[in-house]
Structure 1
Amino acid sequence: MESPHITKGLDPLDSLLSTAKKLADGGAIRDEIVSGIYGVSAGICGDAVTYRDKKKLNSTYKLDNIVTSKIWGFPIMLAILGIVFWITIAGANYPSSWLASFFGFIEGYLTAGFEAIHAPAWLHGVLVLGLYRGTSWVISVMLPPMMIFFPVFALLENFGYLPRVAFNMDRLFKKSGGHGKQALTMSMGFGCNAAAILSTRIIESPRERMLAILTNNFVPCNGRWPTLILLSSLFMAGAATTGALRTLTTASVLMGMVLIGIIVTLTVSWVMSKTALRGVPTHYTLELPPYRRPQIWKTILISSKDKSLNVLTRAIVVAAPAGIITWILGNLFVGGDSVLNHMAAFFDPFAHMLGMDGFIIMAFILGLPANEIVLPILLMGYMSSGAMVDIDSLGSIKDVFLSHGWTWLTALNMMLFSLLHYPCGTTLVNIYKETKSMKWAVLSAVIPLGIAIGVTFAVAQLARLFGWV
């Protein structure tokens, strides 16, 4: 009997080898083997196993057919992510305001205490206006969103949805030369890019792991969420008058930022896989775990302790000395102007080409240790007293921005630069430890920085060309 895989006119052996190569290149052999194994296993289970609740088994298959389908998989994934953002933004507004009021109340007593002991003005400035106010700003802005975002994300993971996300993203990552597991490490990046770099160990291929390491930064981490949320709320959702509509608009803008990050991730992966990291993508067979009822309270407590509080502690450790240094630079005068203003003036011509100003570029440079402190440093730089602004009112922060010539373009390009620029110091250290190569550690900073500069420059020039600003 003649094999259907033998092509007429060719030597049978050559024909079979050619067919085998085509199947191997397309990943069909592995898929056929795995499908065959699962088919046999399903037949054995059907004969030997009695299911008490067949409806539950069938519902799992039906749900998977929907959430992993080529038509509905991505829209459902984006809708769920949008709901997570909406819950985070809506739930964090009031707690942030309460915390800000509480810390402002405490600050009044601290100031009174320093005045009572006749402490020098510089000591009050360093400890209260620099260290305390900077740290309280980070806590007020970061803690409420983290206490919502991380538990909700953990509940999705506990439910069994994240492996479905990896399954949906596998096709895109494979086409870009990456690996399906990169979707899991990318999801980790929403919380902390430094931790996500460590999670790339789940990718066996060194080439694909390097792709995941180099592109993980394009996912906004928790340190960048405050900047993205605040600016989108103040400038992108300005036309929305009601609270619900403003929250929905802000969530939509954040979704757009995430999509931009994913597109850049796939694009950089494709370019790197065709140049410095050439290779054939390895095949990814993922066994989808069954859906489970989330252990709500246990998941919330564990994620709050292991993720939210740990990230917040790291932010405070970095923000405290950064607040002191920034206050000193803002109150140390040379030639009648502060060192902070001199630094901003130096960067201003370059920043103007990117649709921003020198203070913004300076804030990103000084914020290298942690993205959480970029916005506090920027606000401190804008304040003539060199002290951090009180955050009891979003309107007061917007007034500060507007008084320094901000437009929607400034806000948009700062958001884009925050999304795409180099990783924080902790992430860079982890990249060096994981790759054991200074070259890749430097490239992991240079590549995002180049993309951030290129994107913001293009957006600024197009906006000016068409007279939109």
Structure 2
Amino acid sequence: MKADFPLKDEALLPTSYRGCPCGGPRRARAEPGPVVIALAGNPNIGKTTVFNALTGLRQHTGNWAGKTVGLSWGNYCYRGMRFLLVDLPGTYSLRPLSPEEEVTRAFLWEGRPRVTVVVVDATALERSLALALQIMELSPATVLCVNLTDEARRRGLEVDTRTLARELGVPAVATVARRGEGLAELQEAIYRVAQAKRGLQPRTLYYDEEIERMVEQIVPLLPDAREDPGRARWQALRLLEGENIAGTGEDIKDLVERLRGDRAGELSERIMCRLYRVAEEVAGKVVKRTRLEAFDRDRWLDNLLTSPWTGFPVMLLLLAVLFWITLVGANYPSELLARLFAVGEERLMALSQEWGLPLWLKGLVIEGVYRTTAWVVAVMLPPMAIFFPLFTFLEDLGYLPRVAFNLDGLFKWAGTQGKHALTMSMGFGCNAAGIIACRIIDSPRERLIAIMTNVSVPELQPYRRGFMRVNCVLHPLFRGGYRVRAATPQGLSLAVGG
């Protein structure tokens, strides 16, 4: 998947991006265009918040996994230089296994940004460094933005950014993006790297002897071997892993095939193991635990919520409480709305009598359009207004990813994955929301199964006091043994294939 984004032609940029918006000296006019900065990082670690803080744009921020699906961009000016900041999709690696990873890697490989800012999570540095090391291989002009340092301190963790910068050979800046802390230092680091005023010596990741011998034979044959040896080395490693890089000559492909044979999977595993081992070593040197009790409390909560013995009872209890609050709480506003709409209908009927409206128009407008709309609003709006904020609250607490983790094994047995459980839960509030939520599932096959099953999830609607009205969109369609089996994830898995 190619990232469709103008990089060099200023005429292709929006009018608001031209010139220097800061009101200072417009020295950037002498340049052909703004300095392109890529912003990369894992999902849900404040990357989009950093983007909004630097550019002043009010892009929607949230905790939903994989929220940033495409590319977003904005500009800012610092020291008279224009910067075009591109917010890449959140991803955990540069392997093109999902659309987000494809877009991110395509932009870094084909777009060649001047600087790449990698936002890393101070509370889970080891996981974030795995992505940072991969990006540094492809884009050595890297700046690390260590975000969520306030949350790390709350958990009893402290990140030594000086040691981190020394270990990786690139600038590392501690930030709290939502409060604006460290953003001035981040802008200065980006400026210095873009101006090449800071001598960067990024750490080169070396692998075992066999892989290094293969790389040494492949690199001299690649087009970027002289101008950019780092890119050539990255391309050689990807070819050894069995990937097909556009523009690779047939002679190079034949050489790679002779060197690796049928061991592409094995070489890829060795490369990734080495990368994660280095990330673990670096994280161990720069992360210090200042308060063990805070760290132990988080671990205790994780063990409680993800244990097979306690995780499922807690999940069922929270789901029952969520349903009870939704059903009981929705009865009162639903009755109130129904009464208000009934009064409105009576007045409309009285007006129609006074005006002498024909019977067919009265039936169409009042008894048809008005009564149907009033019923839908009175019945569906209250439970949705209660259920979705509560569901969002659980999401903000970080509980929903743990639910997906707990249910992943069961849903794999049915042919899908744990994320399917989250989309099904959304369907209790509204089937349409449950279907739209399926976009978080990467696999097209599993996404199709989720869409076809989520439409049959019963919606929670109040129906008299103390009772739940089950509204299932496809309820009349799934009757009989075969059709009921086809409506389950396992039955659809067999129908779709796999």
TM-score by length of 1: 0.41
TM-score normalised by structure 2 residue count:
0.39
Question: Structure with the greater relative contact order (CA < 8 A, sep ≥ 6): 1 or 2?
Answer: 1
- Greater Rg, structure 1 or structure 2? 2
